[in-house]
Structure 1
Amino acid sequence: MNNKQLHYFTEVANQQSFSKAAEVLHVAQPAISMSIQKLEQELDLKLFHRSDRKIRLTDEGKRLLIHAKTILKNFADAELEMHELKGLTQGCVRVGIPSMLGSYYFPPILMAFKHRHPNLNLEVIEAGTWQLQQMVEHGELDLGVIVSEFVPETLHTELFLQEQMLVTVDKDHTFATQQSVTYEDFFSEELVMFKEDYFHRKVVDRLAKQVGAQPNIGFETNLIPLIKSIVKQGFGISTLLGMVIEEDDNLVALPFHHPVWLDLSIAWSKDRYLSKANQAFVGFVLDYQSSQKANQAL
């Protein structure tokens, strides 16, 4: 049993087809079929059910797939770490960032990091916190920015930012002259909300459950400009981070009567090797936030 056999076996299992696996791997189908047959002979086990051109794993194949994925991951991690011993001259950072932070907080960080490490590639994915968490856990992303409140034990996190969730209304709304807004008053209004897999929505749903309220969601969208536009026109209120509306005179941001703070962390899988490129990015984000705090204290 060797690495190539396991690689072919895993791709056939993923595609549930020898021909599709051959296309993905850019290998002739007979070569893949012969490799799988040889693996089955070596193990003296049948790994796939083959009938009517449909391929599915046997129970033994399912067990082997678990080990194969771990072995291939460890092999890739070892290969990457050995390459990185030559220095931080190549590599890729794959990071997932929620839309609000991606639009209003991270742009200067990303540009400054790229300026410091011009040979590294940056791949930035925008998605909801839940989706980003899943992508990090499944190895589709190296890093993800998530809310610490929802972190599973499988991820390691580094807190880098604390931001307050603010009730956002248009300047003519009755709330605009208040100092704060109670949870009950907030849920008495028609709301403009992010979709369910976004961290703001998860927190709002938790608050609603806490006070026994049923949110009246009139609009549901992940587009921040649209949320702001709807609120400005008086068709609902929302919650946003201060950074989103600090330069918008037509919107007013108010804290909840009992303030809601979000602990934002950068996370990665405990079971995967974190490349030097990704380690450099994590360190850069933490250093950037520390310098921001220092400047604000002056």
Structure 2
Amino acid sequence: MDIRPLRYLVTVADLGSFTLAAERLGVAQPAVSMSIRNLEKQLGLSLLDRGEKRVKPTAEGALLLVHARRILDEVEAAELALNEARGLTKGEVRIGIPSMLGSYYFPPILMAFKHRHQNLNLAVFEDGTRSIQKKIREGTLDVGVIVADRVPADLEAVPFLKEEMVVCVPVDHRFAEMDCVDFEDFFEEELVLFKEGYFHREFIDRVCEKSGLTPKVAFESNLIPLTKSIVRQGFGITVFLNMVLKDEPDLVAVPFRERVFLNMSIAWKKGAYQSIADRAFVDFLLEHAEVAADK
């Protein structure tokens, strides 16, 4: 069975454009258009609504896309399994990591994993947890770090880290001498926050939703060094995982009165085939987490 028309259909539907799909697939645009036209003729159905601005699947196309994605996933899994049976491992782990963990938790783990498995490659992508989930579903990431208490039904996940979320203030701030901070007092301050889609921001949004409070957002940035600099200079305060504020003498970590702990999981697509490299990385990460928890 030639699955190219299905792959072309899925790519066009995802990108909303024959031109962009052809570029991603590395083929000529007429080949993509002709292949999908032949598939429509074979089925006697119109699969794509070829609008002026964006190509969208028809109702019949959307139905076929559900099965097409499943077929492509199974074909990829079969190819990986056969390659590994011949001793040819995938050899690469594509992992998505939020910036805070990527900067302060994962570097020694990634280096230790590479030292143990020198023939395996790691491709690390920094992103928000919501985007990481999407990319795992799409197959552009093999595994990724997400918030443990919000695992979608189509992903498998194993918790590996529990860390406290704390208020970050400069040493001369009124909170610096306090044992803890109320949410009400925190939200009276000018805040420096990550952009939407990151667990840092989602934590703030959940607290606001629960308490009915409104944040005063002075700055939005996903850059941790910039955020720290803004806080040091007194233009706002923020929240970080506690690990981010170790060895920062001019910044103070203050817990919330209602202590907040964030649980993180390593996740992958449910039912998808995991290569030897993927399994090796997940096992290594969980092994490291167990050792760290015992210390």
TM range (shorter): 0.7 to 0.9
Of the two, which has the highest radius of gyration? 1
User: How far apart in 1 are the matches of 2:72 and 2:248?
Assistant: 50
Task: Return the letter of the residue paired with 2:107.
Answer: P
Judged with a 3 Å threshold, the aligned counterparts in structure 2 of structure 1 residues 275 and 59 are, in CA distance, closer, same or farther, namely same
**Residue 49 to residue 101, structure 1, CA distance change in 2 (3 Å):** closer
Q: Cα deviation per residue 1:132-169 (whole Å; 9 max; x = unaligned)?
A: 12222232211111111222222111100000001111
Rate the CA distance shift 1:283–1:29 in 2: closer, same or farther, 3 A.
Answer: same
Within 1, Cα distance between the matches of 2:29 and 2:169?
Answer: 60
1:149 counterpart residue number: 149
1:91 aligned residue: 91
Contact in 1 for aligned 2:83/2:89 (Cα 8 Å):
no
SS of residue paired to 2:257 = strand
Q: State the match for 2:257 in structure 1.
A: 257
1:183-262, aligned counterparts within 5 Å? 183-262=183-262
Distance 1:5 1:112, change over 3 A: same
1:200–1:16 distance in 2 versus 1, CA, 3 Å: closer
* d(CA) in 2 for partners of 1:282, 1:244: 23
Per mean C-alpha deviation after superposition, the further-off stretch among 9-18 and 258-267 is 9-18
Moved more, 21-30 or 145-154: 21-30
Unmatched 5+ stretches in structure 1: none
What displacement does 1:220 show? 1.2
Secondary structure of 1:195's aligned partner:
coil
- Are the equivalent residues in 1 in contact too, given 2:165–2:242 (CA < 8 A)? yes
Equivalent residue for 2:128?
128
Which residue in 2 is equivalent to 1:76?
A: 76
Structure 2 partner of 1:291: 291
Q: Is the 8 A contact 1:88 1:276 kept in 2?
A: no
**Counterparts of 2:66 and 2:292, CA distance in 1:** 44
Q: 1:233 to 1:72 in 2, by over 3 A?
A: same
Q: 1:182, 1:74 → 2: CA distance?
A: 50
Superposition RMSD on alpha carbons, in Å?
Answer: 2.7
Q: Deviations over 1:51-101 (max 9, x none)?
A: 99x976554444333322221221111111221224475422111101000
> 1:196 and 1:33 mapped to 2: Cα distance?
36
What TM-score does the superposition give when structure 2 sets the normalisation length? 0.88
Structure 2: segments with no counterpart, 5+ residues:
none
CA deviation after TM superposition for structure 1 residue 213, in Å: 1.4
Query: Does the 8 A contact of 1:90 with 1:119 survive in 2?
Result: no
Map of 1:119 onto structure 2: 119
CA distance in 2, matches of 1:188, 1:33: 56
Cα separation, partners in 2 of 1:68 and 1:163, compared to 1, 3 Å:
same
C-alpha spacing 1:260/1:64, structure 2 compared with 1 (3 Å): same
Secondary structure of 2:172 counterpart = coil
Instruction: Give 2:274's aligned residue.
Output: 274
The answer to whether the 8 Å contact 2:80/2:90 transfers is no
What CA distance in whole angstroms lies between the structure 2 residues aligned with 1:191 and 1:55?
41
**CA separation in 2, counterparts of 1:216 and 1:51?**
41
Aligned length: 295
1:17-56 alignment to 2 at 5 Å?
A: 24-27=24-27, 35-36=35-36, 38-47=38-47
8 Å CA contact 1:49–1:58 kept in 2: the answer is yes
In structure 2, relative to structure 1, the CA distance for the partners of 1:26 and 1:289 (3 Å cut) is closer
Q: TM-score, normalised by structure 1?
A: 0.87
- In structure 1, what is the Cα distance between the partners aligned to 2:278 and 2:122? 10
Residue of structure 1 equivalent to 2:139? 139
Partner SS for 2:94:
strand
Percent identity, aligned pairs only?
Answer: 53
Tell me the CA shift for residue 259 of structure 1.
0.4
Q: Give the whole-Å Cα distance in 1 for the aligned partners of 2:146 and 2:21.
A: 34
Bigger drift between 197-206 and 62-71 goes to: 62-71
